[in-house]
């Protein structure tokens, strides 16, 4: 009765050789029914299948990967999970990827370079077949080149040299929303956001700038705030705006995660949307349905984008990637709802 409190050694799995011996055939035959490559006689096939079930035999993807040189595995590099945008993206990626028999390594980087490197190295070791990077900017191009030698890469939103990219018309989307506000008579339009350094997000700010410029509306520096990508930060930034001597008549949120905070702050100040202040954003998340009045926003097709990213990646894995950088840009659509109001005619 030694070792009664440890079952580590019981981890002995049945192998293809066991099944072969049991069936009185060679491993190759078993392998054949496993991958139904060549034809195997009905009777032996049936016998083998029965044994496989009986002994709960599960082929080792490790061993198989060693010879086929594929792990059917994809790494998902992502700064964090707290933005619902990420969640929608991940869920759509997961759905597609699993439908193709691939598995996902979850790599949360906290946007820390150190953690990014750790995980990339980990993927290299595990012979991951593909890498999808969400909102992560890798500046180290040598690293990218090294990674590209051993797996396919696709980036969502971040622009990286030689890396296929899925993105959305960030600039135009924001431009359209701001334009809408301006048409409604707004001039005091604030812009709150974060990580202006990330190419996709930067473009959103550019859209704001362009719309303002084209209408010769000077941008007041106190109306542009860069915080963090959390609802809390949206809340704080909005507070700062509302405390201003002359607060804006409209606030545009770089994304809807911030907008939740904006709504709550405005509520707390006893102001009404859109009567007292207009609010717009970017994303069109399912979870934003909760906001009342319903948010006017630049809608991006998040789930389609996630699926496109996964699709492109897997196709590249299976068929080999093109030498030229692929880029798929989705269009935003301005969705007018009830969170904005004309200034001139109340």
Partner DNA sequence: TTGTAGGCGTTATCAT
Partner DNA sequence: ATGATAACGCCTACAA
Site residues for a copy of itself per CB under 8 A = 4-11, 13, 56, 58-63, 65-66, 69, 71, 73, 76, 80-82, 84, 87, 90-91, 94-95, 98, 103-108, 115, 118-119, 121-122, 124-127, 146, 149-150, 230-232, 235, 260-261, 264, 267-268, 287, 289-292, 319-324
**Rg of the chain in Å (alpha carbons):** 27
Contact 310, 129 (CB under 8 A): no
From the list a copy of itself, DNA, none, which binds 292 (C-beta under 5 to 8 Å, kind-based)? a copy of itself
Tokens matching residue 216: 């010769």
From the list DNA, a copy of itself, none, which binds 5 (C-beta under 5 to 8 Å, kind-based)? a copy of itself
User: What are the φ and ψ backbone dihedral angles of 168, each rounded to 5 degrees?
Assistant: -140, 160
Q: Does the protein bind DNA through residue 26 (CB under 7 A)?
A: yes
Contact 263, 238 (CB under 8 A): no
From the list DNA, a copy of itself, none, which binds 16 (C-beta under 5 to 8 Å, kind-based)? DNA
Q: Exactly one of 6, 8, 10, 13 binds DNA (CB under 7 A); which one?
A: 13
- Minimum separation from the CB atom of position 13 to DNA (A): 6
Q: Exactly one of 50, 54, 68, 103 binds DNA (CB under 7 A); which one?
A: 68
Local structure of residue 165 (DSSP, 8 states): E
- Minimum separation from the CB atom of position 228 to a copy of itself (A): 13
Q: What is the largest CA-CA distance in the chain?
A: 88
From the list DNA, a copy of itself, none, which binds 139 (C-beta under 5 to 8 Å, kind-based)? none
Q: CB under 7 A: which stretch of 20-28, 85-93, 161-169, 271-279 binds DNA?
A: 20-28
From the list a copy of itself, DNA, none, which binds 40 (C-beta under 5 to 8 Å, kind-based)? DNA
Taking alpha carbons only, the member of 337, 187, 175 closest to residue 259 is 337
User: What whole-number distance in Å separates Cα of residue 223 and Cα of residue 241?
Assistant: 7
Strands 278-283 and 327-330: what pairing? unpaired
Calculate the alpha carbon distances from 108 to 18, 77, 81, 135, 324 in Å: 40, 6, 8, 12, 29
Task: Write out the DSSP string of 39-54.
Answer: ---HHHHHHHHHHHHH
Q: Does the protein bind DNA through residue 82 (CB under 7 A)?
A: no
The site for DNA (CB under 7 A) is made up of 13, 15-17, 24-29, 31-32, 34-35, 37-41, 43-45, 57-60, 63-64, 66-69
């Amino acid at each position: 009765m030694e070792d009664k409190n440890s079952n580590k050694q019981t981890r002995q799995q049945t192998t293809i050789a066991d099944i072969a011996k049991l069936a009185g055939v060679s491993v190759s035959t078993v392998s054949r029914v496993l991958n139904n490559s060549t034809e195997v006689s009905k009777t032996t096939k049936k016998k083998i299948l029965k044994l496989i079930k009986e002994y709960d035999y599960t082929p080792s993807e490790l061993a198989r990967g060693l010879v086929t040189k594929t792990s059917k595995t994809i790494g998902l590099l992502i700064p964090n999970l707290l933005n619902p945008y990420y969640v929608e993206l991940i869920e759509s990626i997961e759905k597609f990827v699993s439908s193709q028999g691939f598995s996902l390594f979850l790599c949360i980087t906290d946007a820390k370079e150190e953690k990014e490197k750790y995980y990339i190295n980990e993927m290299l070791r595990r012979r991951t077949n593909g890498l999808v990077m969400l909102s992560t900017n890798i500046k180290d191009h040598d690293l990218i080149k090294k990674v590209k030698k051993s797996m396919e890469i696709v980036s969502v939103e971040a622009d990286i040299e030689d890396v296929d990219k899925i993105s959305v018309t960030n600039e135009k989307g924001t431009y359209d929303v701001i334009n809408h506000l301006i048409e409604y008579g707004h001039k005091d339009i604030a812009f709150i956001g974060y990580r202006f350094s990330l190419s996709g997000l930067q473009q959103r700010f550019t859209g704001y700038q362009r719309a303002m410029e084209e209408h010769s509306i000077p941008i007041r520096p106190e109306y542009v705030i860069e915080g963090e990508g959390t609802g809390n930060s949206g809340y704080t930034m909005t507070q700062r705006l509302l405390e201003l001597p002359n607060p804006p008549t409209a606030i545009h949120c770089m994304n809807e995660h911030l907008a939740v905070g904006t709504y709550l702050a405005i509520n707390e100040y006893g102001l009404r949307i859109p009567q007292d202040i207009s609010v717009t954003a970017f994303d069109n998340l399912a979870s934003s349905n909760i906001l009342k009045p319903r948010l006017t926003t630049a809608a991006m097709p998040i789930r389609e984008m996630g699926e496109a990213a996964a699709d492109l990646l897997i196709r590249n894995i299976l068929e080999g990637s093109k030498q030229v950088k692929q880029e798929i840009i989705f269009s935003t659509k301005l969705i007018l709802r009830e969170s904005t109001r004309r200034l001139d005619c109340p």
